[in-house]
């Protein structure tokens, strides 16, 4: 049987990950050499946003290291396969680290087949792929069969979101291919997407409320109706509930799960991020 692994940067809750049959390897949030937290173990999203609100220091983040990956892969039983979905290699070294773990284990005589897959996503875009991989693994498909399906699904993962401010993304160096870096000064909000492994802006509007409306309109025009939808937010629970009702008015059969932008990604979005992740037509 295939055992599916991914990084905690996928932003699944531990409960959702268990439901999907996915094992999350924790990323690390670093405030100082003496103050480091394992994501989902030592810190959760609400705690992170409270800390950011009262801190002038922006923490850094680190993907799971070589030892963490090797230890995780070694938990798989004899006769099973490992499929590790890494966050985008264009913004993280996690893919290379997982590949190095695979090669070192092979050199040590570890015979379990290990496949490392570059999701070209993070956060709830990665969650869509991990959910599908876990589902197929439970059905008994091989790693090769799952990867073939992920190759078809990956270009159809639609992730659209807005942020109240780009300040943390700028300070943290996680701007991807965003062109409107002066958005805060110009008092406009870029409409952001995650495509081909990078964050990109696909338009700008005036005002946060108008930006949220644009995200809803993108769902209306692009979503495969009746599917599973992640509606994610950074400390904006009430707004997320309002958007959920708007989506259900458009697509009554949508299966919507509301989740927090996790602590790792939340370092760069700050509070006020809101978006949707779904399968496109």
Question: Residue 182 pLDDT > 90, yes or no?
Answer: no
Q: Evaluate the CA torsion angle 179, 185, 188, 194 in order and state its sign.
A: positive
Show the tokens assigned to 145: 């069969």
**In angstroms, rounded to a whole number, what is the distance separating the alpha carbons of residues 64 and 23?**
13
Kindly report, residue by residue over 196-248, the tens digit of the pLDDT.
999 999 999 999 999 999 999 999 999 999 999 999 999 999 999 999 999 99
Model confidence at 176, in pLDDT bands (50, 70, 90)? low
Domain architecture of the chain: domains with CATH: 2-154 (3.40.50.10170), 156-279 (3.30.1180.10)
| Contact by Cβ (8 Å): 76, 82 | yes
Least confident of 108-117, 165-174, 205-214: 165-174
Question: Which candidate, 36, 147, 172, places its Cα nearest to that of 85?
Answer: 147
Question: The pTM is what?
Answer: 0.95
pLDDT band, very low/low/confident/very high, at 166 (cuts 50, 70, 90): confident
Listed range (44-53, 63-72, 128-137) with the worst mean pLDDT: 44-53
CA distances from 200 to 177, 204, 246, 265 (A): 5, 12, 25, 16
Q: How far apart are CA 143 and CA 174, in angstroms?
A: 31
pLDDT band at 54 (very low <50, low <70, confident <90, very high): confident
Q: Over range 6-28, report the average pLDDT.
A: 98
Helix axes 94-107, 66-73, angle to 10 degrees: 60
The tokens for 252 are 């009554």
Return the closest-CA partner of residue 22 out of 6, 45, 2: 6
Judged against a pLDDT cut of 80, whether residue 175 lies above it is answered with no
Can you give the length of the chain in residues?
A: 281
What confidence score (pLDDT) does residue 138 get?
Answer: 97
Over residues 82-97, mean pLDDT: 97
Q: What pLDDT, on a 0 to 100 scale, did the predictor assign at position 167?
A: 83
Is residue 170 pLDDT above 90, yes or no?
no
pLDDT on residue 183: 65
Is the model more confident about 178 or about 11? Answer: 11
Residue 270 above 90 pLDDT? yes
Tell me the average pLDDT of the chain. 94
pLDDT given at position 162: 96
**Each residue of 185-198: pLDDT tens digit?**
677 899 999 999 99
pLDDT of 275 over the 90 cut = yes
């Amino acid at each position: 049987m295939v055992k599916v692994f991914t990084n905690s940067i996928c932003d699944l809750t531990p409960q959702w990950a268990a439901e999907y049959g996915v094992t999350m390897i924790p990323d690390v949030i670093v405030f100082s050499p003496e103050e480091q937290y394992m994501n989902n173990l030592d810190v959760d999203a609400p705690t992170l946003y409270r800390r950011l609100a009262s801190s002038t220091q922006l923490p850094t983040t680190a993907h799971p290291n070589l030892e963490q990956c090797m230890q995780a892969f070694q938990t798989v039983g004899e006769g099973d396969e490992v499929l590790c979905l890494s966050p985008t290699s264009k913004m993280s070294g996690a893919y290379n680290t997982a590949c190095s773990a695979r090669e070192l284990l092979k050199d040590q005589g570890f015979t379990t087949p290990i496949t490392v897959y570059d999701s070209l996503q993070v956060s709830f875009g990665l969650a869509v792929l991990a959910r599908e991989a876990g589902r197929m693994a439970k059905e008994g498909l091989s790693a090769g069969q799952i990867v073939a399906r992920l190759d078809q699904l990956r270009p159809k993962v639609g992730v659209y979101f807005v942020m109240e401010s780009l300040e943390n993304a700028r300070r943290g160096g996680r701007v991807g291919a965003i062109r409107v870096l002066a958005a805060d000064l110009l008092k406009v909000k870029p409409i952001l997407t995650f495509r081909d492994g990078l964050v990109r802006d696909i338009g700008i509007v005036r005002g946060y409320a108008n930006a949220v409306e644009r995200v809803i309109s993108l769902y209306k025009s692009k979503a495969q109706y009746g599917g599973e939808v992640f509606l994610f937010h950074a400390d904006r629970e009430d707004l997320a509930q309002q958007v959920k009702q708007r989506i259900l008015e458009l697509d009554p059969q949508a299966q919507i799960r509301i989740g927090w932008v996790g602590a790792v990604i939340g370092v760069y979005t700050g509070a006020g991020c809101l978006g949707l992740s779904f399968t496109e037509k």
